[in-house]
Every structure is written in structure tokens, then in C-alpha cells.
Structure 1
Amino acid sequence: MRQLKQHFHWALCATTCALSTAVLVACGGGGAGDTATQAPAAPSPTAPSASTASVVDGTITGFGSVVIDGQRFDDSLAKVAFANRPDAQTAGTLGDLRTGMRVQGELKDGVLQNLVVNFALAGTVGAVDAAAGTLVVFGQTIKTTATGQLPTVFDGFNALSQLAVGDLVKVSGTVAGDGSITATRIERKAKDGTEVFRLSGAVQGLDTTARTFALAGNSSATVSYADAKLLPTGAVIENGKLVSVVATAAPTVSGGKTVLAASVVEVKARKLPDSSDTTVGGPINDFKSLSSLRIGDVVVDASTATLKDGTQAADVANGAQALAHGVIKDGAMKADWLKVFKNDTAIKALLIGQITDYVSLANFTLRDTVVDASAAKFIKGSAADVAAGAWVQVTGQLTPTGVKASEITVQPPPADKPQRLAGAITAVDAAAKRFTLLGTPVAWGDATKVSPDGKSLANLAAGVTVSVEGTYSASSGVFTATAVTVVNTTGVAKTLGFSGIAFNVTGDSLQIGSYTVVVTPNTQLLPAGTKLADLVNGSRLSLKVSVTGSDGAIRLTAISIELQKPEKDDAGSEYVYLAGLVNDFVSSASFKVGSQKVDASGSGVKFIDGDTAKLANGAKVEIKGTVKDGVLIAKQVHFMPG
């Protein structure tokens, strides 16, 4: 993957990278952006002349490598953690990151060092109002939006109407002045007995004798902090202070009140460390004047700030999406500049990378983002070039379920690196010893190896599926094949492998993302002993499916379904899962999936449907393992079809 080595310099991308023309960029594990044929991406900030440290707090809006509120950051050194409990963070991977997550990042010279994912709420749904776009959890109202600068991203469902009372959800977002949460992402989770519950809001009705308080805008739940740990050390709970409350058990009725027994209370006023170079993004709340407002969870004084990119004082109002830069002292920001993203400006999404799961032009995945390109215009290449493994650049419109593409540019693979291309040939020029694969011209020569035995380059024709090893030259614009494997001819059934969070689960079908999968009596359920009743909404599943039909009526039928239950290693660390295409392969001890570093060299690694020799650039894998020092140490490597 191309290393960006960017400086944290927001002024350079004031126009191109602003959320009002938001850039959603995906690396996808390659360096497609290095080629001369790609459409220009958002400019990278200028590298600093001296070492600088800074902080960023905002919402993930894409990947390239990681995009926070429209700005790309080099993630080559990033360590990811999830603050499910603020007193005990859980290590994660770059592959766990998703659009809509609220994060806090520490940077050095613009390079992410540590990235912590924070949540505003976790609990069971008490009420849903799909028409109003709201739901209630433990008395707290969550607001969603399907349009605007930052649509709410859904995971494990596609619409609020699919949520039911009692469903477990985890919400990313910020607390508004009325106590409601403006959600940037909502995930439905399966109940497995390991749930941690959370509420966030401003303290009111504090009773220091009974050690209880309520949250603004929440008339249902009373928080007991009698046995709670207070964070950060030395923090004091006071009326009006913004807090995040974590509990290991759901609220219970006691003395006529619904009480949440807190195990941890985090006072959010000191959420960010003191810093002379901090950027915060999110909706404006608690606006009183330019000298007194809040962006996300951060109190901001913008009385002397420069209003940038056409922002007027009247634009600075509650609910507006904003970005501010300045100095953090004692948890509050003194802003030197502030800008508001105008709602009348359409968000432009930009995804650059390698397609993983392809069903049709209206339904494929690029860096864990579902893309509908059914109405897209091709700037370079054609629909025939779009398939699993293809390198593409997609521009379009952000939606709660992915990206609606308006333009596609088919790109060659990264230059001067060993690569593997696999797919159906679209054209052959035997005289020139070339064919076209995934939009890339491929040249063969007398030294090119052909397999299996009995096949020759004379067998090549449009529609034949091949796997090609070699390298791409940016200067010649040609991929030179060192080996060609003829996989099959036309008419052979296609199989696909993918994973995700299930919803709309019935006895004969289920959905993952935008994929509807038919379950039959012949579907193999894994691990052994798994029953259909074990597959519930919110379950994480890994599937192998057959794909039949045409673009107008495609049917996905499950060959096998593996239920991925929470597991821990001998040290008590929970296993994580990472799926995607291998890139930057050096050895089994050093390669990447997406932009996540992986080591699968351990003697105890279990390989499924392949062995260590099958690891190579372009191989589709799902890896189970644990994270150490930012590297995913593989316990299991499953080679997936598709």
C-alpha cells in the first residue's frame, strides 16, 4: 500500500477534503493511486519540517488510509483500540474500523500512532419511531438522519423499521444539548452474555449522599455510582458535566426507580489531552455564542477564530456540522479557526482500492463499503472490467448503507510489485500476445508458465477465467505475466465468500449488508453442532455461497455458514476477525490485508482450504487472531472463494 506520510495540515485541504465536498478514500491494500492513469485524488498535506504532535477527534468518513471528517491520515503505524470500557480498552485492527465511528487519534508528523474508537451508548431498544428517525434506549433518545453531511450508518440492519424492541445496539455519536444522541453509526449486536451497557449525557439531579444522578433529557433511568470507578483520576461528578456511564448489567427497578448501577463513570470534560494542535469535528451543540459552544463532546471558544471557507457567524448554530482547530487546555478548546459544512453541498464519496465481494454492478464491496454502481458513468474501462479483485476508483454519494456511485474509473494494479490478477478475460489479441483482464492489458511471452497440464495460451478466449501472476509497469501500461493458470471456461457456477453481521434471519434466508442469502437443507452449518436457531439477528457469520442468475435476478444460495462466537486465547484476549485481499506480501510473517499488518508464521496457525504456500497478493482470506503491538497475530487463516 502506498505510504502517504502526510502532515496534519488542514488548511491545504480546506476545499478539496472538506466534509462539504467530503472525500471517502479507500486504500484497499494496493497503491492503485500510484499509477498515472487514475483520476486525481484529494491532495496530500505538505510534510512538516520538524517533528510535531497533534490530536484529532471526529468521525470516520472513509479510508485512505483512514479519513476523519474528510481528512486522510497515514495509518502505517496506527494501533487501534476500542473503548467498550473506558477503564479497559480492547485491541483491534484497522480492518475493524468502519465509517460513522467516532474516534480520537494521536498523531506525530501527521501519522496516526494510536486510534481509539469511542461509543456514546450501548443497550437494548425500548421504542422505535421509523417515521421520525428515532429510537429510545434506556430512556435516551437517539436521532438518525438518512441525508445531509453525515448520514447515520447502519450495520446489522438497513432501516430503523427492521429494529425491534429488545434488540441490542451500540451507538456512535455525540450528545446534544437536549440529552439526545445524534448518531453517526448504529450497530445491532447479538446478545451473548458479554454485553457492556452505556449511557451518555449531562448530569442533573445529583445526590451526593445517595450517590445517584440522572441524565439530562432522560426521565427513565437513574444512575447509581455508589460502586463506580471515576475517570479520569481525580474527576468530580457535578451537575451539568458531560459523562459517559458504563455498567455490566442492564437497568433494574429498585424503590420504584429504574436504576443503572454504574461500574465506571467517565467525566468527558477532560476527554482530550492538552495540546497545541488539535482538530475536532462534529455537530454543534449547546450554542450560546461564538465564545461558548460545543463541537461533539468538546467545549469550544471560537470568539477570536477565523471563520473559514465562506462560513458566516449565522452558520454557527446548533445541529450544524463543524470543524475547528486550536489549542486544548483543561479539556476546552480555544479555536484559531472554525468552519461549518453547508447542508446544501452534496457529499462526494471517493473510494480507491480493490473490490472484494462482487455480486453485480449494483452490489459489490470496496474496503467494507457497499457500492451501487448501477447508474454510474465509466470514465475509464467498462462494466465488464468490474469484478472481484479489480482496482477501481469510485466517486458518488454517501448513503446510510454505502455509496451510490456516479462515476467509476477502472485502474491497473500497483506498479512494480508482484501481483495476482484473477477473473474472466474480456478480449484476446493472439498476434500481439496480449489479453485484457479486469481492465488491465496482460502480455505473455515464451517464458510464461501455463497450467494446469494440457492447457496452453491457445486456450485463451473471452469469457475464460484465469489467474495471472506477474507485475505491472506504469511506464508501459502493461501487466507482464510470469504464470497463467486457466481456472475454467464459461458456464461454470460461481462461488463467493464473505462475512458480516446478519439480519432479517428466517428459517430459509438471511441478509448481510445488501446481500440476501437463501438457506437450504443442504447448507452446512459450522462449527459442528450449530443449528438454524443459533443464527439470530446481530450474529457475525462467515458464508460461502453459490451465485446463479443474471444481473437482473441474481440468487445467492448458502453452501456453508459459520457462526463466529466470541472466543479468547490462553491469555484471555478476545479473538478478532479480519477479511479481505492479501497485499504487500513479503512472507507469511509479513503481509497486509487492507492496510492491517498480519503475521501468520506461527507454528500453530490453522489453514483452511489451503496452506501457507497459497498466501500471495490477491488471495482472499479471513483471518482469526489476536493483536499485539498493532500486528494481527494469526491463529487461523481461511482462504475464501470469490
Structure 2
Amino acid sequence: MNKHSITGWQKSLGLGICIISAAALIACGGGGGAASPTPEVTPAAPPPTTTNASTLTLIEGTITGFGSVVIDGVRYSDAGTKVELGDNPELKKLATLGDLRTGMRVQGEINKDGVLQNLLINFALVGTVSAIDNAAGSISVFGQTIKITSGGQLPTVFDGFNSLSQLQIGDLLKVAGSVAADGGITATRIERRLKEGGELYRLSGPVQTLDASAKRFALGGNSSVTVDYSKAKVLPEGAVIENGKLVSVVATAAPVQSGGQTVLTASAVEVKSRQTPDAKELSIGGQINDFKSLASLRIGDVQVDASSAELKEGTVLADLVNGAQAYAKGSLTAGVLKAASLKVFKPETALKAMLIGQVTDFVSIANFKLRGTDVDASQASFSKGKAADLATGAWVSISGQLTASGVLAKTVEILPPPADKPARLEGAISGVDLATKRFSLLGTTVQWSDTTKLNPINMSLANLANGVVLVLEGSYSEASGLFTASSVKVIATTGVLKTVGFSGIAFDVTDTGFKVGSNSVVLGQSIKFEPSGTSLADLKNGAKISVQATLSNVEGKATLTATKIEVQKPEKDGEGVEYVYLSGLIADFVSNADFKIGSQKVNASGSGVEFIDGDAAKLASGLKVEIKGSVGKDGTLIAKRVHFMPG
């Protein structure tokens, strides 16, 4: 990935930070700053926040959905958003919107139009597992305790495993979450990754037993590791390491035994209290930790003094407990927020996970993806359509509850395709009416005519029947509520095996199968491995893979059998820039140089682009692809390879 030396939000913090107004919060719905329960949101909804033209709003919170980006239940437009990964504090990496996942902790900037300008992904800890306590629901990494939340408004999201029992000592984890004054981390997301070499390790916590002459200190809650910062860069510039200050320590190597101690040699130390400069107005949402009194608590990583704060919306002192989701606003001085108001979210204003977009990787109503997030809609109520309308390519709006594995949908609204834009629909049709030349596909009424092109040409649309699988090209009219088909291609009749494709992190790998997200995959008899030289031995827990599999019904259960597996090993171009991978359905196709996957803009017009299972002429809205490329300075994903995926 391309790299930056500093993020946009860091540069512009000094320009001013404003409070999100109460009116804007009500318009946004619930979440980290909402004044009422989250309402239903459709793609046509206006931006959720409006700020004063002369100021910027800084937000910090947890991603709870997409459509565009939802942070603590509040939806923000991501048109033109630049995303960066904060793994290396000295040299930020450009990422894509496709890299965002539920449970990630992020810092962002909102411009005067309510649009996310910059978004920084932060992890509190990166390291290997040293202990697992299933009974207590916690794990230890380099001596630091990570607390798992199994329920409530923000449960810990797992990626690369689905229970603590599947972790092993030595597994490499990336942990997002809030760090308490005792050094404990309440995780909002944990990713298991394959060890590939060159990792940057990270620990976070309050400094204690500082020895400035020896340039060493320990971290609160971690009696195992001593930090050596003699060769470290202290960030931001001018910051001073002091006992009690919350810091993140970054190192190029894991801790080692030295002189009877376990020593982590730091390459950089971030002093968290100096990351946000003094500000007359600031708002923060997140989990309460280290609560001592109204005068001393934390929300996220921000120290709060709420001794003179007005408690809002029925909040009482008894609601202020560690783990509660809260929102405060006031002024920031020397790293402490002097809160003018404070509220704790109650069950009636609970955070909701929201997802808006096109369905991908559909296996069943209980197992599909939306914006890269696993969704189970088996318990959901449906509006403007029915469960049978769910399939790969369907446009939907989902509201539900964040879970450890994704989102448990409570409501599903079937949406029409974007109006007056070329679009592609694929799936089994129903409600065929030969007299009016209409049928239903993905919850959308389709109109055909005598001028509609048909492939194969020896077939007749007059013979269409329910259950036939078609691929349509055309456009949807909001005025008529109809999708007018310009061309129809007959793919298959009912009962034919379907091939699907999906990507993710492998876990629970055995001799007979593995899992990716919510998908359980059986190893077929003859599997093609890519790239050349890759074999079954490379399929390990934590490996990032792309899978093609046949979907069949075995004893009434959907079964995925792998036919091709691509193990995505880290790749770099001649300048050392890492390639990134992004998969999903093409949307808003204008040209090969201008289309989107989710909300990520992609350019695949380069002369050297490699196309697999298709060519440049095949690109169109509605097709599922996996893109390998690098991120340009404007945030566009410049494709080097386009792989057309089934399903």
C-alpha cells in the first residue's frame, strides 16, 4: 500500500473541533451521540451530521455498520474518504474503504457537509497469545490482558476464529479496543493473522516504574514485559513519557529475555494524551472504563472529568459503570475532557448495527455477506419484499445487532436498484406473468418487451417459467418502479449446482475442511491451488484466502465444497508498495476507469491490468470481482489484476 507520513486529521486538528449539534444527532439516529433510537435509514437519506462551515468535527469510536460508514450507530457519507492504517505511527499506510470492518476502532474527521474526509484505523495491540482463560473470557498477549465482551451493545467481533477455544498459544492477534488505566483492553475486534515475517508488534497501557536514565518502563497491568525505549521515537513531536500516561509501544520484534527480564525494544512510543490538542469544543463516544468518580473516568482513550456535567436523557450516577456506552461533550485541556454534558445509552437507545448495499456470497438466509460483513437474517422481519428475494446481488437495508461473527439482522428492507443507472441482475425469477411480460427478480419487478435481446437466440421469452436463472442488463426507473430489461441471458433451470466465490481469513483448518467467516467449507477431491507452487500445506489458520466452491444441498443442508483456493501471500511492487485485495460486486459503473466496489472507487483502465475468467469488456455493474491493486494518493484503488468471481 502507498504510504503517508502523517494523517489528515492530525494535520487539521489545530483548525478547530466542534461539537456535533443535538439537532444533527437526532437526524442521525442512535449511536455514539444520538438523542433518540436509531431510525430506519435508506441510501437516499441526507448526511447525518452538519457542522459549522468554519469548523471540523473529530470523531472517535467503533465501526458498527456500513452504508456508507456507521460509527457507534451514526451513519456518515464516505464519498471521497481517505482511509489510513495506523500500524506504524511513523509512516501511515493508505488503505481502502474495503479494509474497514465492524468492531474496528477509528478516528475520523467530518467536514462541513457531514462527509468523512479522513479515517484512521487503530489497533491497541498486536502480538502472540501467551495464555487463554475460557472461563473468564479473556486472553493474554505478551502479558497484557484482553477482555472479551460476549453480549451487550458492542460484543467483541472475531475474525479468523469464532470462539476462544479455537485459539492456540503463539497465535498472532490484532486487537482493537479501549485501554483502561489498569492496562486491561476491552476488545471490540480481534483478528487472528498468519505469521508472515516483518510484523510490527504493539502494546498499550499506562506507563509505570519509569526509569528515565535507563530509558525503560513497564506498562500498567503487565508485570511480564519491560519496555526499552532507548532507540525509540517518541510521538507526537514534543511529547514526554511520564508515569501514568497512556501510551502505545510499537516494536519490530517480539519481547526477548535479557538480563533476567522480558524486554520489548520499542521503535516508537505514542503518547496518547498528546494525540488530540487542547480544544474548546470536543465530543467523544465509547465505552466507559477506569471509572472512579464523576471527576475521574475514561471514555475510550480520553480522560473525562464530568464533575460539573449535566447528565442527559435520564442518565443517573448508577448508570456510570465500566463497560457502559457513553457520550460526552465539553472542552479538552491537557488531555482531559471537562464535560459539560454526559449521557449513557440505555436499552431503549441501544446501538444498532446498520448495513446498506448489495448482498454477496449468498449461501442461505442465515449465511451471506453485506459490505464484507457476515449476516444472519434467519430471525429478521422483511419489508418491501420477502426472504425469497435475498440472493447475491440483491439491494437491501439491514438493521440488527452486532455479534461476535457479524450481524444478526432484525429487519431487512428489500431495496430497488439505483435509479436510471445501467445495472445487472442475476438469479432465479418468480411471479412470471407472460401476458404483461413481467416477472420478479431480487425483489424487483422486471419488464421485458419484443425489443429485449435474448441469449441463447433460439429460446423465447414467452417460455419463461418460475425458477429459471437469468442474467439481466437494463436500468430501474424510480417513477415506474420497474426494471426495464435491455438484454436477457438464460443461465440455467432449477436444480443445477451453483458455484460461489468468497474471500476471508481461514480458521478451524483440518484435513477435511476449514472455515471462512460463516462458511464451513469441505475440501474437494481435486482442488486447484494458486499461485503456482502453493499447496494444501499453505492452508493454515490465519491465512488470507480466496475460495471457489460448489454449493449443493446435502441432506437438507447447504454444503460448500472447495474447487479452487488462492492463498494471498504478501506481495510488493518494485518500489516496495504492498498490494491490497478487495472483493465484492461492481456498482456505479461509469467506465473501466471509474466504478466502485462497495464505496471504494476503482480504476481498472491500465494497459497492464491482468484479467482472469473474463476481459476488460466484461466489466459492468452487478458483476462480482476480486481486485488486486495498490492505493493511489487520492484513495482510488488502482487495479493490477481483476478476477471475475462466481456467485
Q: C-alpha separation between the residues in 1 aligned to 2:315 and 2:508?
A: 44
The 1:161–1:280 alpha-carbon spacing in structure 2 relative to 1, beyond 3 Å, is same
Q: Which residue of 1 aligns with 2:57?
A: 54
- Which runs of no fewer than 5 residues in structure 2 stay unpaired? 1-18
1:378 aligns with 2:382: yes
Equivalent in 621, 624, 627 of residue 620 of structure 1: 624
Do the aligned residues in 1 keep the contact of 2:70 with 2:354 (CA within 8 Å)? Answer: no
Amino acid at match of 1:321: Q
Q: C-alpha separation between the residues in 1 aligned to 2:226 and 2:347?
A: 37
Matches within 5 A, 1:198-277: 198-277=202-281
1:233-254 deviation per Cα after TM superposition (whole angstroms, max 9, x unaligned): 1111111111100111010011
1:18 aligns with 2:31: yes
1:174-200 deviation per Cα after TM superposition (whole angstroms, max 9, x unaligned): 111221101000000000002111100
Do the aligned residues in 2 keep the contact of 1:24 with 1:61 (CA within 8 Å)? Answer: no
1:71 aligns with 2:83: no
Q: C-alpha separation between the residues in 1 aligned to 2:453 and 2:366?
A: 36
1:518 aligns with 2:530: no
Paired residues, what number? 624
Q: Which residue of 1 aligns with 2:439?
A: 435
Do the aligned residues in 1 keep the contact of 2:51 with 2:111 (CA within 8 Å)? Answer: no
Matches within 5 A, 1:96-175: 96-109=99-112, 110-175=114-179
Provide the secondary structure at the position in 1 that maps to 2:429: strand
1:94 aligns with 2:97: yes
- Which runs of no fewer than 5 residues in structure 1 stay unpaired? 1-6, 27-31, 35-40
Give the drift of 1:454.
1.3
Give the drift of 1:62.
1.1
1:580-601 deviation per Cα after TM superposition (whole angstroms, max 9, x unaligned): 1111111011111000011111
The 1:276–1:635 alpha-carbon spacing in structure 2 relative to 1, beyond 3 Å, is farther
Amino acid at match of 2:322: N
Do the aligned residues in 1 keep the contact of 2:43 with 2:67 (CA within 8 Å)? Answer: no
Amino acid at match of 1:443: Q
Q: C-alpha separation between the residues in 1 aligned to 2:248 and 2:52?
A: 39
1:33 aligns with 2:43: yes
Give the drift of 1:23.
5.3
Give the drift of 1:331.
3.1
Give the drift of 1:11.
4.3
Give the drift of 1:352.
2.2
Compare 283-292 and 130-139 and name the one that shifted more.
Answer: 283-292
Provide the secondary structure at the position in 2 that maps to 1:265: strand
Compare 544-553 and 557-566 and name the one that shifted more.
Answer: 544-553
Q: C-alpha separation between the residues in 2 aligned to 1:48 and 1:205?
A: 43
Provide the secondary structure at the position in 1 that maps to 2:526: coil
Provide the secondary structure at the position in 2 that maps to 1:613: helix
Provide the secondary structure at the position in 2 that maps to 1:95: helix
Do the aligned residues in 2 keep the contact of 1:141 with 1:181 (CA within 8 Å)? Answer: yes
Q: C-alpha separation between the residues in 1 aligned to 2:232 and 2:54?
A: 40
Do the aligned residues in 2 keep the contact of 1:622 with 1:638 (CA within 8 Å)? Answer: yes
Q: Which residue of 2 aligns with 1:556?
A: 560
Amino acid at match of 1:511: K
Provide the secondary structure at the position in 1 that maps to 2:521: strand
RMSD: 2.1
Amino acid at match of 1:424: A
Q: C-alpha separation between the residues in 2 aligned to 1:568 and 1:322?
A: 42
Q: C-alpha separation between the residues in 2 aligned to 1:102 and 1:268?
A: 14
Q: Which residue of 1 aligns with 2:359?
A: 355
Q: Which residue of 2 aligns with 1:493?
A: 497
Q: Which residue of 2 aligns with 1:327?
A: 331
Matches within 5 A, 1:451-490: 451-490=455-494
1:85 aligns with 2:59: no
Do the aligned residues in 1 keep the contact of 2:357 with 2:371 (CA within 8 Å)? Answer: yes
Give the drift of 1:533.
1.0
Give the drift of 1:365.
0.9
TM score, norm. by length of structure 2: 0.93
Provide the secondary structure at the position in 2 that maps to 1:487: strand
Q: C-alpha separation between the residues in 1 aligned to 2:485 and 2:107?
A: 44
Give the drift of 1:321.
1.6
Do the aligned residues in 1 keep the contact of 2:285 with 2:325 (CA within 8 Å)? Answer: yes
The 1:123–1:390 alpha-carbon spacing in structure 2 relative to 1, beyond 3 Å, is same
Compare 346-355 and 383-392 and name the one that shifted more.
Answer: 346-355
The 1:370–1:25 alpha-carbon spacing in structure 2 relative to 1, beyond 3 Å, is farther
TM score, norm. by length of structure 1: 0.93
Provide the secondary structure at the position in 2 that maps to 1:269: helix
Q: Which residue of 2 aligns with 1:184?
A: 188
Provide the secondary structure at the position in 1 that maps to 2:631: strand
Q: C-alpha separation between the residues in 2 aligned to 1:238 and 1:362?
A: 50
Give the drift of 1:17.
1.7
Matches within 5 A, 1:597-636: 597-628=601-632, 629-636=634-641
1:479-531 deviation per Cα after TM superposition (whole angstroms, max 9, x unaligned): 11111111122222100001000001122211000101111230111111111
